[in-house]
């Protein structure tokens, strides 16, 4: 029935298009229209009828892998047909068509969506008026709760490139138009990945606009590769688009103006060993080690939580204090709570690594002292660890995963990280937003939360939601730092996998196009040699148990 309706819809449009007049445009600019097509005989005729009303200088249809009359339909409508008897993969045809054309303005559209000629005009006029890229707006996707990963990725990419005004708009959506200038700047091979082409264009020019909106998503054909198979949370199409997003992100973190600085920590191993021996001698072994990083900004309730845990036979407390924190240190000493002093560096990762190396518990619960945490939260983490001994127990942030326009942009990027674990049905989880709990054998991997979460998710570690600990004030205070660390984590991901984060290209025939060579930029590294000390308060926790 659906096929019959589409066929008849096509006939109606064919008949009516014969009665329509050409659309006026400025013919001083050469216009090339590029249309990739595969088995689209039912809609292609109506698509080309509308395009012909623009009287383009070149109309190129790239027919690939078709088993129907797509090529014949294109020829009948006066198009130049470039034909391949095998599938090229998504967007490769678009790049091949652009390479074959010679124009001032390149208009790209699809063969399965009929768009009126009048609706193309704003995209063309924008380029005539000096813009380099004109995008179709689908901004409505930013208003819905729990946006899909690809929309979140588009939103995130635009934000980190300083174009928040573009929101989720991207060359992934047709129709769009490009100038000859920007196409030369990025190279036609970039068009194979629309997300990458978009990021490269943003890096090359500020002349990118969104002239109007055409809701093409509701007109998209359902396809088999849009449905997830087996245990995977992502369909093959979504895996390709996830890879496209990461490939664009790879370009940005190596070529954008992000000013990323990595931290290299060099421990005095003798000093660390002395602290560990002293701690182990004075403190009893307990099943769970609570490692908490504390700097000058800590929540006042932390002292109460530590005091309650001191009397607990399950959890040992390992406070790692950075900065002066004179009042807090005095309080810990009054409570006879030993702690570690970390100087010369105030970073979460080194503090967690230090605490882990002193811990002896079967599990490590990592936390930041700025985030309020009750003993009931701790108990919930421990209960989940007992029920799921090999799992990562994460801080449940699902309630903060709302619409793209309402939630912190950090979450848009973190969604891309969460999707690295394709077997876990988890919407959002981040080790950059503690607390989180790990079995000891996994906790030993910890260097920094931003790299550790990449490693664990690539391993497909089981993931279980813990309690929902409020991190909103922490996000508000530290969003810039969190974004910086998240991007460093992505850079680490690419060093461990590929430019696509290990995701499939879904059979794209990139070898048919010139190689796209993008040189990597270096990364600034700050080298730190922190000093540390074990502050013994005079009473062993043995006495408290």
pLDDT in tens, 345-358: 778 888 999 999 99
Q: Is 522 contained in some domain?
A: no
| DSSP structural state of residue 220 | P
Task: Give pLDDT tens digits for 80-96.
Answer: 999 999 999 999 999 99
Q: Would residue 22 count as lying in a domain? A: yes
Distance linking the first and last C-alpha atoms of the chain? 74
Its domain, for residue 332, covers: 267-395+430-492
pLDDT digits (tens, 9 = 90+) for 386-437: 999 999 999 999 888 899 999 999 999 999 998 888 777 787 889 999 999 9
- Whole-number pLDDT of residue 224: 61
Clarify whether residues 191 and 272 are in a common domain.
Answer: no
43 neighbors 114 (Cβ within 8 angstroms)? yes
Residue 472 domain-assigned? Answer: yes
Mean pLDDT by 10 residues, the chain (545 residues): 35 51 94 97 97 98 97 97 96 97 98 96 98 95 87 95 95 97 97 97 96 86 59 79 96 86 89 92 93 92 95 94 87 93 85 92 96 97 97 92 92 91 80 96 84 91 94 93 95 94 94 84 83 75 37
Query: What torsion, rounded to 10 degrees, do the Cα atoms 162, 164, 165, 169 define?
Result: 100
Residues 95 and 188 in one domain: yes
On whether both 463 and 365 belong to a single domain, the answer is: yes
In a shared domain, residues 207 and 343:
no
Residues 197 and 316 in one domain: no
What is the pTM for the complete model shown? 0.90
Which of 197, 221, 245 is the C-terminal boundary of a domain?
A: 221
CATH code, domain carrying 440: 3.90.550.10
Residues paired with 439 in a beta bridge = 363
- Residue 465, C-beta contacts closer than 8 angstroms, at least 6 positions apart: 384, 393, 394, 396, 398, 426, 429
Q: With respect to residue 501, please indicate whether it lies within any of the assigned structural domains.
A: no
SS3 32: strand
Clarify whether residues 38 and 110 are in a common domain: yes
256 located within any domain: no
The predicted structure's pLDDT at residue 505: 93
Residue among 451, 431, 456 at smallest CA distance from 494: 451
Asked if residue 231 is part of any domain, the answer here is no
Using CA of residue 234, residue 236, residue 239, residue 245, what is the dihedral sign?
Answer: negative
* Same domain, residue pair 217 and 281: no
Domain stop point among 188, 221, 254: 221
Helix (H) or strand (E) holding 63: strand 58-64
* Predicted pLDDT of residue 367: 97
Same domain flag for 459 and 330: yes
- Considering the domain architecture, whether residues 193 and 300 belong to the same structural domain is answered as no
Boundary residue ending a domain (193, 221, 249): 221
C-alpha–C-alpha distance, residues 438 and 436, integer Å: 7
Same domain for 272 and 188? no
For residue 543, the model assigns a pLDDT of 34
How many Å apart are CA 487 and CA 409, to the nearest integer? 13
Specify whether 178 is located in the same domain as 112.
Answer: yes
What does the alpha-carbon distance between residue 299 and residue 430 come to, in Å, rounded to a whole number? 21
Is residue 146 in a domain? no
Reported residue count of the chain is 545
Q: Which of 432, 466, 429, 465 is nearest to 448 (CA)?
A: 432
Indicate whether 455 belongs to any domain. Answer: yes
Q: Number of folded domains in the chain? A: 2
Residues 212 and 279 in one domain: no
């Amino acid at each position: 029935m659906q096929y019959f309706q589409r066929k008849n819809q096509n006939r109606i449009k064919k008949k009516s298009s014969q009665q329509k007049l050409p659309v006026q445009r400025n013919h001083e600019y050469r216009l090339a229209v590029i249309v990739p097509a595969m088995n689209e005989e039912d809609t292609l005729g109506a698509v080309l009828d509308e395009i012909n009303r623009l009287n383009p200088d070149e109309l190129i249809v790239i027919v690939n892998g078709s088993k129907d009359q797509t090529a014949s339909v294109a020829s009948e409508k006066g198009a130049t047909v470039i034909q391949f008897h095998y599938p090229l993969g998504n967007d490769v045809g678009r790049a091949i068509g652009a390479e074959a054309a010679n124009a001032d303005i390149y208009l790209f559209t699809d063969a399965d969506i009929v768009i009126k000629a009048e609706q193309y005009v704003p995209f063309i006029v924008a380029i005539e008026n000096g813009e380099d890229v004109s995008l179709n707006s689908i901004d409505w996707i930013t208003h819905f709760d729990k946006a899909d990963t690809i929309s979140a990725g588009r939103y995130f990419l635009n934000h980190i490139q300083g174009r928040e005004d573009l929101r989720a708009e991207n060359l992934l959506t047709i129709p769009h138009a490009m100038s000859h200038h920007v196409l030369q700047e990025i190279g036609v091979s970039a068009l194979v990945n629309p997300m990458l082409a978009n990021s490269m264009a943003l890096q090359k020019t500020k002349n990118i606009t969104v002239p109007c909106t055409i809701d093409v998503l509701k007109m998209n054909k359902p396809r088999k590769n849009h449905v997830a198979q087996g245990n995977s949370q992502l369909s093959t199409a979504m895996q390709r688009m996830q890879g496209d997003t990461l490939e664009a992100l790879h370009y940005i973190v190596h070529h954008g103006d992000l000013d990323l600085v990595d931290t290299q920590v060099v421990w005095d191993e003798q000093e660390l060993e002395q602290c560990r021996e002293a701690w182990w001698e004075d403190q009893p072994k307990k099943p769970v080690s609570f490692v908490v990083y504390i700097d000058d900004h800590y929540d006042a309730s932390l002292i109460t939580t530590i005091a309650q845990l001191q009397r607990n036979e399950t959890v040992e407390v390992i406070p790692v204090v950075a900065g002066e924190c004179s009042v807090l240190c005095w309080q810990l000493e009054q409570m006879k709570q030993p702690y570690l002093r970390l100087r010369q560096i105030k970073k979460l990762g080194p503090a967690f690594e230090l605490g882990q190396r002193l811990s002896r518990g079967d599990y490590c619960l990592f936390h930041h002292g700025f985030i309020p945490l009750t003993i009931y939260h701790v108990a919930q983490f421990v209960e989940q660890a007992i029920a799921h001994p090999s799992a990562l127990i994460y801080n449940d942030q699902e309630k903060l995963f709302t619409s793209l326009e309402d939630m912190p942009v950090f979450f848009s990027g973190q969604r891309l990280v969460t999707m690295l674990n394709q077997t876990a049905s988890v919407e959002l989880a981040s080790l950059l937003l503690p607390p989180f709990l790990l079995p000891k054998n996994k906790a030993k991997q910890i260097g920094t939360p931003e790299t550790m979460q990449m490693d664990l998710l690539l391993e497909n570690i089981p993931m279980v939601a813990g309690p929902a600990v409020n991190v909103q004030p922490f996000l508000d205070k530290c969003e810039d730092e969190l974004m910086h660390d998240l991007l460093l984590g992505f850079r680490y991901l690419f060093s461990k996998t590929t430019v696509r984060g290990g995701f499939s290209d879904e059979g794209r025939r990139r070898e048919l196009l010139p190689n796209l060579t993008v040189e990597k930029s270096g990364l600034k590294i700050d080298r730190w040699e922190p000093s540390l000390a074990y502050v013994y308060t005079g009473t062993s926790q043995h006495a408290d148990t």
